[in-house]
Structure 1
């Protein structure tokens, strides 16, 4: 991550994950609230399991890409942890970053096992997600020694989102399907994604003047900027939730109406005789 691209890659990953989770959980929440026939088709356990398998496969793929990029990218350690010639540890920052990707890869692997077999309890995926977020924050916390004041500050602000996600994911172990917790995790994930981009622009600006890492005014601005990122994430999650829900409700209504009409034609549903009497009376008027 010691470059602009190194921060843009995880930033994009978390931003896309936050947006995807928002859409997914909004759809599932809408279908859980609707007890009609259509909801059982749109939110069946089989369809949810397929989505979880695809999602876990994508996360595992990007985790592997991240680990390979940290190890074999420009200036990477190429799997060398200790330099025996110079007698010192080699590229520990890259090893830290690769370890962060490793734990998200472990989460994705466990999630694949859970949703393709019956070998583990369902709540284990939330536990592994909480551990992955905790490990990310834990490594970042001890990743900042000897850095500039602003460099340390932007990474500490990142930890608020990371440890917040850790706590929320842990609570989801016991309250799975709670839409408030799910959307809160989505919001913090979007914050983490956009903030990675912000850190990249601050520490490794692709164009324009470099930031003064010792200026206290820059720290004040960056702190305010973090609040803007949080507000932006809340707006994104709220808008997506409001957009998805009416569309899902309309889809459920159309699906339910189609299934009911189909059952009426097959005779699977019988209307009361009073219905036909009323219909005949109105036809004679």
Structure 2
């Protein structure tokens, strides 16, 4: 990962999934509001743009396995020199990809109804992000100041992602808590790209950042603040677009997931009961 591509790949991974979760969370929340149902977040979401039974395929889980497999193979391949594995940093990065790939495996086990523990998908995501934070925390020994700074800000974001996942697992009917997961994952993704340009800028004529210059630290932290704002604005605009879409096109429920098939209202005791599994066959409760 000590190059531009090595930072851009995980950054793209996080951005894609964060945007996907944001769209799907808003879609489910607005559908629940329209049908007078209680919103419940889930670890994965169906690809409702597909037709027929394909919309219930575990596309998200398969994409996790694809991205992480590419990452593992790339890190191991580039870590070899003259037939020997000579870069422990690549081993750390491959380990990070492995744990995120493990979340995809847990998703598939739940989808195919293996007898696994409840909320194992959330637990596996929490473990993956925690391992990521631990690896990057001890990744910085001997690095220059700017390198340490940008990765320290990344560790802060990773820590916030762990807290967001813990909160979502506990309060799954709160849309704001649910959206904190894609917010911090999106922030991770865009910051990975920023780190790539700061440390390994591929543009011709790009100047190397000077770790001895105090202004470099000021600019890096300012960039991070901008990333926080851009992530918020991006998710806000997605919410606005999804709201407009639902108001204009979703009045007759001709497409996407029908939330009445996911849960129904028990009029007798005013509780919400799941009719079947969620989009990837994991149980979810109010």
1:24 aligns to 2:24 (yes or no): yes
Gap runs ≥5 in structure 2: 40-44, 49-53, 255-286
SS in 1 for 2:197: helix
1:154 aligns to 2:154 (yes or no): no
Specify the alignment match of 1:35 in structure 2.
35
Q: Distance in 2 between matches of 1:144 and 1:4?
A: 17
Match of 1:171 among 167, 170, 195: 167
Specify the alignment match of 2:251 in structure 1.
253
Higher helix share: 1
Seen in structure 2, the aligned counterparts of structure 1 residues 47 and 36 have a Cα distance that, compared at 3 Å, is farther
State the structure with more CA Rg: 1
Seen in structure 2, the aligned counterparts of structure 1 residues 96 and 199 have a Cα distance that, compared at 3 Å, is same
Count of residue correspondences? 241
1:55 aligns to 2:60 (yes or no): yes
Seen in structure 2, the aligned counterparts of structure 1 residues 14 and 77 have a Cα distance that, compared at 3 Å, is farther
Alpha-carbon RMSD across the aligned residues, in angstroms, is 2.5
Seen in structure 2, the aligned counterparts of structure 1 residues 79 and 141 have a Cα distance that, compared at 3 Å, is farther
TM-score by length of 2: 0.78
Q: What CA deviation, in whole Å up to 9, does each residue of 1:50-82 have, x standing for no partner?
A: 557110110111001000000013x5469955x
Superposed, 1:46-125 pairs within 5 Å as 50=55, 53-73=58-78, 75-76=79-80, 90-125=86-121
Gap runs ≥5 in structure 1: 40-44, 82-89, 257-285
Q: Distance in 1 between matches of 2:245 and 2:114?
A: 33
1:215 aligns to 2:220 (yes or no): no
Q: Is the 8 A contact 2:11 2:192 kept in 1?
A: yes
TM-score by length of 1: 0.78
Seen in structure 2, the aligned counterparts of structure 1 residues 192 and 78 have a Cα distance that, compared at 3 Å, is farther
Specify the alignment match of 2:265 in structure 1.
none
Specify the alignment match of 2:202 in structure 1.
206
CA shift at 1:241, angstroms? 1.1
Q: Which 4+ residue blocks in structure 1 deviate beyond 3 angstroms?
A: 45-52, 75-81, 249-252
SS in 1 for 2:13: helix
CA shift at 1:249, angstroms? 4.0
